[in-house]
Structure 1
């Protein structure tokens, strides 16, 4: 538990450094709720951070840095719908924020695969397609970030599983084959960065088996 708390605090500190730099190294934000939200992030208190940052709206709704902090907090709270919406606002205000595209995509992917969700297969399919598109936008901004390819591969794999399941309402063998091929391509891109990754080698083999066994 102690290590987990330390990990959250480290994430919050890394984020705070990003936010502070984006705000031109101002030591304090003029809005007290933003300041409280920043402090909560430093403490690894994502629920508290989200509460304070939500109170800063709508006044700070045009500040992409405040919205980023809110989306980041919502994501780590597991509020993936809210996080995806908030990061969507961030990229509308700042189209070159690759990290916001990454979190928007990751939150969207998480929404699509939640087993307790009442979403239809068609809605899940659209969410996964949106996730891959957002990862692609992030990659266009930072093509050397290996985690973007890995997460896009996961989204493609999830899409292949969804539309490649026999009997599913949106079953589509051609679409599933394409999704698995794209997942494999992204995994192979990862191996071009580090060919020693056994976990990724296994993912390539699994995606290949899934693709080759489509009915």
Structure 2
């Protein structure tokens, strides 16, 4: 069943996850696209990317919207026409969206060893609590950290924000499914509640600015 998960985090926030098993042609036949996004779709060189793009439109439809309700600002950040906040992500065979009355960010990433090699590009303070004793757990924690920083960047969306220098994730345990993160970027000082869970061999992370 391609709609992998559909739940309300709270009364104002809905999260939907799609497992992409359909062909490009099947997905294309089942969604509405505006002309700009038809052109964007045709310009994508990877069919996997195209299917991810189309599956996001399937999720929109599951939530009661369609592509005509979605627009992007000059920074590439997605918005819905009814002023609800939305964040979008897709990776390999999964895509996900989060829709809320408040600013939100979401990210889904495959657990893979490659993240160990690039960890020093996005972690600083986190090295104090990370250990590599259990490689699988280390990969999962790095994936949560990356996803957290990606989700926060999607919320703040300002040029110049560095994952390594400006966003820090507080210590956490995988079985707690929640942590806190800080954004310190010039005059911007914000704290975020972060939630994470496993979706098969992927890490799903979503974040909200603390009230």
More strand by share: 2
TM-score, structure 2 normalization? 0.28
More helix by share: 1
If asked which structure has higher relative contact order (CA below 8 Å, sep 6+), I would say 2
